Amino acid sequence: MLKRRSFFIIALSSIFSGCALVSNIDNTSPTSSISKTPIVVSDGVASFELDNGLKVIVKQDHRAPVVVHQVWYKVGSNYEHNGITGVSHMLEHMMFKGTKSVKVGDFSKKVSKMGGQENAFTSSDYTAYYQVVGKQHLESVMQLEADRMRNLLLDEEQFQKERDVVTEERRLRTDDNPSSKLYEQFNAIAFLNSPQRIPVIGWMQDIRNWQLQDLQSWYEQWYAPNNATLVVVGDVDPVKVKEYAEKYYGIHKKSNIMPPKPQLEIPQIGKRAITIKGATKLPSVIMGFQVPSLVTASNEDGRKEAYALDVLGDILDGDDSARLTKFLVRGSKKLASVEAYYRATSRLKTSFSFSMTPSAGVTPEQAQQQVWQEIKKLQTQKVTKKELNRVLAQAEAAYVYRQDSVNGQAMVLGSLASVGLPISTLDNWIDNIRKVTPEEIQAVAKKYFTQDTLTLGILLPNGEKVKKLRGASSHGGLR
């Protein structure tokens, strides 16, 4: 369930005149293949796979004549390496720059004329594109999205312009934002050899040195039907969705996808810390601890730990009645704000982190001690059944509310499939967190929250005037 912290958001090409790059490999067949794979329905979700490897998930919701159409690619910043960091996000920008049959900017115009909404986003684990339209327009958006899966035109002039856009986006989001800069550098020391350390937008030095061929190679390497998941949720018929999917996506040939070599984070054997200065009124502090996720858990005990960590996160920071806000903001008033963050569905080993802003007159060291006091309580005192039941009731309510949004339902299904978790994880979520015991919560707090496994980031005011932050570009969302 997407909460503030957790579960519930190559062949080289020929160069033609005009500096456009077009793939010189045949990616389509004259006619679409008719998949003989049956539609499997489980817990109200239909799924099937085309002969070219495209996985399709369909969930019917007939409350309104609306449909959400999403394509998720299994590629994001943690697939990247030094020198090309941010290339997944940049390619997402370029996906709106036209194909052999759709001119630059026409994709968005066509969806707008349908009365629909569309956008895209890149994360560490995946890149996704989506449209929300009336159900009568499903075939049209499916044709548009399938077209740019393999027929994107990458033009040098458009590339140069969009690279400038991303450069400015990074400057606005990170370089001119001390809090974002703190998180980025904190993450870079929290993970020394795992690609989790790579910022989704990329390092500025890499952005400035991208070449058009970098994007072309990345596109041909990862944008293929057998590296994608199509998610359709709304007022639809799975049989009709399959017909359209075979007609438009089925024409693309599968690619030889070579997954990245494992880059497992080395064990942390002592505290890591970084202190930076920036134009801010108050200090900021981040405390983080490496923890497993549902994906990285190697056995049932590991999966139990992931669910226990998620519940622990709700106990600390589920709402305004949770411990951190109750005791540290409203209670002692030592902290102006504090949050806990954990994402149980991360594809790689992740972190459980605490972000805080000390109140005026409170030092970063004193702020840390406040959080350590709450951690010690979890380690020495079992959570009461009353508090645990309150947290579980909130989680169940959040699960129910999530069903109100067809886009929200699609987001959860797409994210699960993209990191390799079964889509049944969604329907089994409440059952699994209800199995979490006070003893398991205490055990993970003791095991993972220690001084020797702490990563600490501190932002101090540098005395400069605080800059007013501006907005960023429309396309190219980061998650």
Chain centroid to Cα 183, Å, comes to: 16
Distances (CA, A) of 411 to 136, 159, 235: 21, 29, 16
Clarify whether residues 181 and 308 are in a common domain: no
d(CA 88, CA 75): 7
Clarify whether residues 328 and 451 are in a common domain: yes
Instruction: Specify the DSSP class assigned to residue 462.
Output: -
Clarify whether residues 317 and 425 are in a common domain: yes
Clarify whether residues 182 and 81 are in a common domain: yes
Clarify whether residues 173 and 299 are in a common domain: no
Instruction: Specify the DSSP class assigned to residue 99.
Output: B
The answer, as to whether pTM is greater than 0.85, is: yes
What's the CATH number where 184 sits?
3.30.830.10
Residue 92 annotated to the active site:
yes
Clarify whether residues 285 and 244 are in a common domain: no
Using 50, 70 and 90 to split pLDDT, how confident is the model at 438? very high
The active-site residue, picked from 92, 184, 265, 305, is 92
Clarify whether residues 233 and 131 are in a common domain: yes
The total number of residues written for the chain in this structure: 479
Domain span at 425: 272-466
Among the listed ranges 42-46, 121-125, 398-402, which one has the minimum average pLDDT value? 398-402
What strand order describes the sheet that includes 335-341? 272-278, 454-461, 284-291, 350-358, 335-341
Measured N-to-C along each axis, helices 385-402 and 438-448 cross at an angle, to the nearest 10 degrees, of 90
Q: What is the domain count for the chain?
A: 2
What six digits make up the tokens of 106? 């026409």
Task: Report whether 79 contacts 419 (CB < 8 A).
Answer: no
Mean residue pLDDT of the chain comes to 91
Clarify whether residues 169 and 123 are in a common domain: yes
**pLDDT one-digit tens code per residue, 356-415:** 999 999 999 999 999 999 999 999 999 999 999 999 999 888 888 878 899 999 999 999
What six digits make up the tokens of 230? 């199509």
Task: Report whether 231 contacts 423 (CB < 8 A).
Answer: no
Clarify whether residues 297 and 209 are in a common domain: no
Residue 369 lies in a domain: yes
What six digits make up the tokens of 303? 């999966």
**pLDDT one-digit tens code per residue, 207-265:** 999 999 999 999 999 999 999 999 999 999 999 999 999 999 999 999 999 988 888 99
Clarify whether residues 217 and 303 are in a common domain: no
Using 50, 70 and 90 to split pLDDT, how confident is the model at 12? very low
Among the listed ranges 126-130, 179-183, 366-370, 473-477, which one has the minimum average pLDDT value? 473-477
- Torsion of the alpha carbons at 160, 166, 172 and 177, rounded to the nearest 10: -130
Clarify whether residues 321 and 177 are in a common domain: no
Using 50, 70 and 90 to split pLDDT, how confident is the model at 476? low
Using 50, 70 and 90 to split pLDDT, how confident is the model at 200? very high
Clarify whether residues 83 and 224 are in a common domain: yes
Task: Report whether 378 contacts 384 (CB < 8 A).
Answer: no
d(CA 345, CA 306): 9
